Amino acid sequence: MGPEGHFGALASGQCSLVSSPSPWSLPRWRAYVAAVVLCYINLLNYMNWFIIAGMLPDIQKSFHISDSDAGLLQTVFISCLLGSAPVFGYLGDRHSRKAMLCFGILLWSGAGLSSSFVPTEYSWLFFLSRGAVGAGLASYSTITPTVLGDLFVQDHRTHILTIFYISIPVGSGLGYVLGSAVSELTGSWRWALRIMPCLEAVALILLILLVPNPPRGAAEGQGEVVAGVLRSSWCEDIRYLGRNWSFVWSTLGVTAMTFVTGALGFWAPKFLFEARVVHGLQLPCFQDPCGSQDSLIFGVLTVMTGIIGVVLGAETSRRYKKVNPRAEPLVCACSLLVAAPCLYLALVLAPTTLLGSYVFLGIGELLLSCSWAVVADILLSVVIPRCRGTAEAVQITVGHILGDAGSPYLIGLISSALRATRPDSYLQCFLSLQQSFLCCVFTIVLGGGCFLLTALYLEGDQAQVQEQQPGTGTLDNKDTESHGLPSEARTSTEDL
């Protein structure tokens, strides 16, 4: 034994890498209980994202803000989320992921509750509180998929991620429903923001009691790096991800998806409301509370199409992968390319037939939802375990910077610019918002092309993950030789 407590070759300083002291295991039932809790919290996560959209006309009336300023509200929220995501990704790869999740829940629930008490003359304070909510949500969106990746493998991981990502459309839809329903029942949109912290307090207790903190790479049997082991820096992780073309192109595909879903999620309820006004089925909104029927309908539509879409996409990918190893990006590409004409028809049919618009909007949402779980599976399969938290953070950051951080504001800005050149009428207000949505159609097509490019590199990047185990677990002969270790050191390392 050497002076630092190492045996054999390690004591002489010939090797600085050691294997995991013992395999980590967890009873299967505990893993599934933890997954249920994480899925419940993810539901609350996305309810917070879109609860404002369900009450948007009321909030605009309360704070006297225009369409462009209302879009900026979501931009502030997303900007704070993406600014915090790299920080939580870095910390999640190096420190307790469970502690990061608990901190995030406390931050977003506290900020959400405080935003319900902001006076109407301090609209800037409401914007600031929404930014704090976004910063808290960044911790959960970044870290949780890596925890699930360390609890399950292969088909089990695909099934769990399917359920986890069903929470995106379901939570989004419930956010619309809760926001609009509570606003109508109580006569004030503020009570919807006061109900959410109660649900989040339950989530925090369940997280502390029932969710473990698995070692990174535990599901693959690689274990976690032990104290004193040299690990790569954040810059080295970024360089690795930049050379991983499957990750790069799939991230750009996700960016296109988030651009469109962010724009739809924020503006679709108001678009449908104004379409009903144009058809004479709804009176214009002159005072609070505005009609909530469209938010409710869109929320239910989002929930139904989201459940079907996520399950359909994951199951199609799983079955198609048996005959084509590139099935995952191809399923994403096909779903987006077919969603583009559906969204276009939903927009152009709205002035003539509301039913047709709803049908094609529902089909488009269903096809967009097909990719959520599949995209997560792509990332976990092409990125080595020690970089997954950083990879999630980078994908979230890029996706939101170029995606839904700006798309609601861009749609509102185009709509306001078009209205400024037209007569002041509800018909022109509706047409301006309708035409501003057309940029989403082109963005979906670009996203489909990015996933086609992902398919070209997928197999090669997956093979590199299988071959390399840098920084985690037991080194094989190839790894030790690449570090210049003699045979005695390899034997000592394996014995240890």
Looking at the domain assignment, is residue 21 inside a domain? no
User: Which residue's structure tokens are 């009321």?
Assistant: 58
Could you read off the pLDDT of 91-115 as tens digits, one per residue? Answer: 777 778 888 889 989 998 999 898 8
Looking at the domain assignment, is residue 77 inside a domain? yes
Could you read off the pLDDT of 245-254 as tens digits, one per residue? Answer: 999 999 999 9
Q: How far apart are CA 360 and CA 338, in angstroms?
A: 11
For the chain, residues with pLDDT lower than 50 are 1-22, 222-230, 469-496
Looking at the domain assignment, is residue 315 inside a domain? yes
* 387 secondary structure, DSSP code: G
pLDDT value of residue 480:
35
pLDDT value of residue 9:
38
Q: Which of 478, 456, 452 is nearest to 466 (CA)?
A: 478
Q: How far apart are CA 407 and CA 400, in angstroms?
A: 9
pLDDT value of residue 12:
38
pLDDT value of residue 15:
38
CATH code: domain of residue 133: 1.20.1250.20
Looking at the domain assignment, is residue 228 inside a domain? no
User: Which residue's structure tokens are 């990918």?
Assistant: 317
Q: Kindly write down the DSSP assignment for every residue of 35-99, as one continuous string.
A: HHHHHHHHHHHHHHHHTTGGGHHHHHHHHT--HHHHHHHHHHHHHHHHHHHHHHHHHHTTS-HHH
pLDDT value of residue 160:
81
Q: Are 337 and 319 in contact (CB under 8 A)?
A: no
Tell me which residue range forms the domain holding 208: 26-220+233-467
Looking at the domain assignment, is residue 73 inside a domain? yes
Amino acid of residue 483: H
Q: How many domains does the chain have?
A: 1
pLDDT value of residue 232:
65
Q: How far does Cα 285 stand from its chain's mean position?
A: 33
Q: In the structure encoding, which two tokens stand for residue 260, read together?
A: 């469109």
CB proximity list for 405: less than 8 A, separation 6 or greater: 75, 78, 79, 82, 262
Q: Which of 322, 334, 317 is nearest to 376 (CA)?
A: 317
